[in-house]
Amino acid sequence: MTGEFYQDEMKAILKDQGALLILLGAIIIYSLIYAYAYKMEVVREIDTVVIDLDRSSSSRQLVRMIDGTEEANISLSATSMQEAKELFYEDDQVGGIVLIPSGFEKDLLEGVQTDVSVYADGSYFLIYRQLVGAAVKSVGTFSAGVEIKRLMAEGKTYEQAMAARDPLSADLHFWFNSSSGYGSFVMPGLILIILQQTLLIGIGMIGGTSKEKNRHSFQVPVALRRGGVFPLLLGKGLSYLTIYSINCVFTMVLLHHWFDYPNRGSYLHVMALTVLFLLAVIFMGITFSVLFKKRESSILLMVFLSPIVLFLSGISWPAASIPPFLYKLAHVFPSTIMVPAYLRIRNLGVELSSVQHEYFLLLIQVGFYFATAALALYVETRRNRKLEASAKNTTDTV
Amino acid sequence: MNQKEQTGFFRRNPFFRVLFREIDRMSSSFIYLFITLLGPLIAFILLLAIFNEGVPRNLSVALVDQDNSALSRKMGMWIDAAPEAEITMRLPNLAEAYQRMETGHVDAVVVIPEETEKNILKGVQQQIPVFINNSNILKGGYLQKGIYKTLATMSGGIKVQVAMKHGLSEKQALAKAQPVRLHQHVLFNPFGNYAYFLLTALLPLMVVVFTLLSTVYAVGTEVRDGTGPEWLEHSGGSIIVGVAGKLLPYTLLFSVLATVMNVILFVQMGTPLRGEFMLIVLGELLLILAYQFLGILLVAVTSNLRLSLSLGSAYSMMALTFSGLTFPQFAMPVIAKAFTWLFPFTYWVKLFISQAIRGEAAVLGVRYLAIIPLFVLLSVALFPRLKRILQNEKFWGKV
């Protein structure tokens, strides 16, 4: 029986252009468009205005150092803050201003502390971060150079000078995505959210259509037999699993390969987790699909949740900073459990044992939604039988 | 038409006839209530709740203290005191700490090697290895900032102490410790925090999503159900009057929503308002109108409710990415860059930044404002096609 229901559901999906667009087209189009927009990964060479009030060889050296960083590009110069701000407003591409005060070199030679200022555009977060990073790096290096020269002039060796300059030095190592690529950061998790949301909406759409067309009538006799609802549920579930296996290969294998997204884990582990995730989403989708009376209801009621579910999964905003009650509530969505575990496998390359907590949670979720989906289908087929019976009665009397 | 209905201005005027017809339709089903009121409010509440904390605080750090000295304990305390970081576990070695990172329990590891204190006292430079999980660049960035600053402050403190021991004044010692100081100024950053920054885009995005979907639904159902002729009959055969009467209730509802949003943004969150508030309000009205008319355009082009809804949701959601707020426009590849101008939302974000956050001259804001009506015109050009679809039976019933 499962086979027949499988074929039936597959036919219903494949014949339905609208559902196909969501279940197969959307994931491919969405993921390609997003991946393309983030293709450059990092913001490089941000146009920067320099106000060099000192015009000395030291100040020029500092300007060259800032210009030499990957993040900043000193493209304009101004003689006053007023002029620099005008340049900034005129040109959309200018991300910030660097100000070197007059007397800069003199202070350096006299051993007086001198201040360099960076004004970075805070209205765009990434621009701000990159530009301040570039300024911190260059000014830090420049300042260190000055200090070491001074210390060596006092007769210290280079090593002694280094130690005296920075007795306690942070030796920073970035593990995983060390270049802070935006696409590598956001895409792997975003793909999971797109998979989940299109699947939920698509299943809801097929469910709504069945209800509009009363397509279920032939399922009634089987589904209402003892245990008969399970072949129906499995048949439906497997058909979505088939389609989403294709989607997963496209997004999790091909797209990762094309755009060079992190891929440290083994595909076996990825698969073990993904199958559970898909099953949980599918059974959740089937559970909710009986609530939709019309085929467009699922879109109207669920689309707006996508960005919210995304942030609830902890992809960018740390889960620990989400109010605990809301984060617990978010566990109704498989993505909340799946995303952190999946990202650790793909980014850190961990073994399944390191995600066992999430693995068990997903298992529980699959079991729970399997039960609710079976119940939902049973209740619905009973209602369909009643509808059918009353329809028969009216035709009989007519 | 019934003679009785023809009494009174409101019942005779085509515009009001369409308007009242629409209000009747809206009150007939839960879906309308959801997409105009409940949905947007739920979205607002959830988003505000998620980002309630403003800045990520106390991200988990593991400390591997192999020195066990007064200095290393102090270092641990200082890192723990940094707002970004919290030492959640102390472990004997890096391998174990790495395991905790693999299971997702810590985001960074700080290792204080043996003899750290001894080396410092001897005047030998001591490296403090810090390992940060940067797969989430937002968390990684905050952790880097917090830990680096703490260690640099400690290092600077040690230097100043040493210099003062050698008889320098505090000022001289400071100048010696750091010849060039960098002052970081944030231009226009109202909050310095990522959450508020995101909310100023996410709340209007929700307005846009629901505006577009509700328009597509309101117009698309007429095509699906074949009620187009009845609609046009109410408007006296004019598609312009028909559209105007139909859209007005939604325009009003979403303007109210935009007002709620303004109260949240400017009163509750304290977003600065440095430019012309009227331009922002006008921008919001135009934004709502633009997305309403784009909804009509979608139905006119596809003549299919569900396809319009699918395309509409994709189009409205993508506006966030292509507004350039999260990942800047100029860093996108050429085609994506061109693509960004196809979303009214992009102009709105620019207007908002220009007038609310930067406080630029009004003229600069008007630049962006002036483009939004073009989307309305584009849609009006398709009105004749919409009328044909509404009247022609072969377009109906598509689901």
Query: Domains of chain A, with CATH numbers?
Result: 2-38+185-397 (no CATH), 46-165 (3.40.1710)
Nearest to B39 by CA among A202, A305, A361, A158: A305
In this structure, the number of other CB atoms found within 10 A of the CB of residue B39 comes to 23
B155-180 pLDDT, tens digit per residue, is 888 888 887 887 777 777 777 777 77
Q: Rounded distance, CA A346 to CA B35, Å?
A: 37
A274-300 pLDDT, tens digit per residue, is 999 999 999 999 999 888 878 888 888
Strand arrangement, sheet containing B180-187: A72-78, A46-52, A94-100, A114-121, B180-187
Are A192 and A317 in contact by the 8 Å Cβ rule? The answer is: no
Q: Do A311 and B50 touch (CB under 8 A)?
A: yes
Q: Do B189 and A128 touch (CB under 8 A)?
A: yes
More confident residue, A171 or A259: A259
Q: Match 């006799």 to its residue by tokens.
A: A221
Q: Do A304 and B206 touch (CB under 8 A)?
A: yes
Class of domain B59-177 as given by CATH: alpha beta
Residues of B in contact with A174 (CB under 8 A): 132, 134, 140, 144
Q: Rounded distance, CA B347 to CA B288, Å?
A: 13
**Of A164, A165, A180, Cβ closest to residue B134:** A180
B1-57 pLDDT, tens digit per residue, is 444 455 677 778 888 998 999 998 999 889 999 999 999 999 999 999 998 887 888
Label residue B2 exposed, middle or buried (CB < 10 Å: 0-12, 13-18, 19+).
Answer: exposed
Q: Do B123 and A164 touch (CB under 8 A)?
A: yes
Q: Average pLDDT in the A291-314 region?
A: 88
Residues of A in contact with B116 (CB under 8 A): 168
Residues of A303-337 as b/e, b for ≥16 C-beta within 10 angstroms? bbbbbbbbbbbbbbbbbbbbeeeebeebeebbbbb
A:B CB pairs within 8 Å: 325
Residues of B in contact with A18 (CB under 8 A): 304, 306-307, 310, 399
Rounded to a whole number of angstroms, the distance from the CA of A229 to the nearest CA of chain B is 28
List phi, psi (to 5°) of B47: -65, -45
Strand arrangement, sheet containing B59-65: A168-175, B126-133, B108-112, B59-65, B85-90
ipTM of the complex: 0.87
Are B139 and B58 in contact by the 8 Å Cβ rule? The answer is: no
Label residue B166 exposed, middle or buried (CB < 10 Å: 0-12, 13-18, 19+).
Answer: exposed
Q: Do B307 and A17 touch (CB under 8 A)?
A: yes
Side-chain-facing half-sphere of A15: CA atoms under 13 Å: 10
**Of A39, A97, A126, Cβ closest to residue B333:** A39
Residues of A in contact with B187 (CB under 8 A): 88, 96-97, 119-123
Are B47 and B271 in contact by the 8 Å Cβ rule? The answer is: no
- pLDDT value, residue A217: 52
Are A97 and A51 in contact by the 8 Å Cβ rule? The answer is: yes
Q: What is the 3-state secondary structure (H, E, C) of chain B?
A: CCCHHHCCHHHHCHHHHHHHHHHHHHCCCHHHHHHHHHHHHHHHHHHHHHCCCCCCCCEEEEEEECCCCHHHHHHHHHHHHCCCEEEEEECCCHHHHHHHHHCCCCCEEEEECCCHHHHHHHCCCEEEEEEEECCCHHHHHHHHHHHHHHHHHHHHHHHHHHHHHCCCCHHHHHHHHCCEEEEEEEECCCCCCHHHHHHHHHHHHHHHHHHHHHHHHHHHHHHHHCCHHHHHHHCCCCHHHHHHHHHHHHHHHHHHHHHHHHHHHHHHCCCCCCCCHHHHHHHHHHHHHHHHHHHHHHHHHHCCHHHHHHHHHHHHHHHHHHCCCCCCHHHCCHHHHHHHHHCHHHHHHHHHHHHHHHCCCHHHHHHHHHHHHHHHHHHHCCHHHHHHHHHCHHHCCCC
Side-chain-facing half-sphere of B61: CA atoms under 13 Å: 32
**Integer angstrom CA distances of residue A212 from A217, A388, B28, B223, B294:** 12, 14, 18, 17, 28
Q: Rounded distance, CA B275 to CA B358, Å?
A: 7
A197-249 pLDDT, tens digit per residue, is 999 999 998 888 777 776 655 566 666 666 678 888 898 899 999 999 999 99
**Of A97, A116, A296, Cβ closest to residue B217:** A296
List phi, psi (to 5°) of A174: -95, 115
- pLDDT value, residue A398: 47
List all residues of chain A from 248 to 307 with a beta carbon under 8 Å from chain B.
262, 294-297, 299-301, 303-304, 306-307
Side-chain-facing half-sphere of A265: CA atoms under 13 Å: 28
Q: Rounded distance, CA B104 to CA A344, Å?
A: 8
Q: What is the mean pLDDT of chain A?
A: 86
Pairing of strands A72-78, B108-112: unpaired
Residues of A in contact with B139 (CB under 8 A): 318
Q: Do A117 and B185 touch (CB under 8 A)?
A: yes
Q: Give the residue from chain B lying closest to A340, CA to CA.
A: B104
Output the CA torsion sign for B271, B276, B278, B284. Answer: negative
Residues of A in contact with B336 (CB under 8 A): 36-37, 39
End-to-end CA distance of chain A: 35
Biggest distance spanned by C-alpha atoms of chain B: 105
Q: In this structure, what token pair is assigned to residue B242?
A: 């028909």
CATH 3.40.1710.10 occupies which residues in chain B?
Answer: 59-177
Mean pLDDT per 10-residue segment, chain B (399 residues): 57 87 89 93 94 86 92 91 91 91 92 89 85 88 87 85 79 74 68 74 94 95 89 89 93 95 88 87 95 95 89 90 84 87 92 84 85 92 90 75
Q: What global pTM score does this model have?
A: 0.88
A4-61 pLDDT, tens digit per residue, is 888 888 888 888 888 888 898 889 988 999 988 888 878 888 899 999 999 998 899 9
In this structure, the number of other CB atoms found within 10 A of the CB of residue A282 comes to 26
pLDDT band at A273 (very low <50, low <70, confident <90, very high): very high
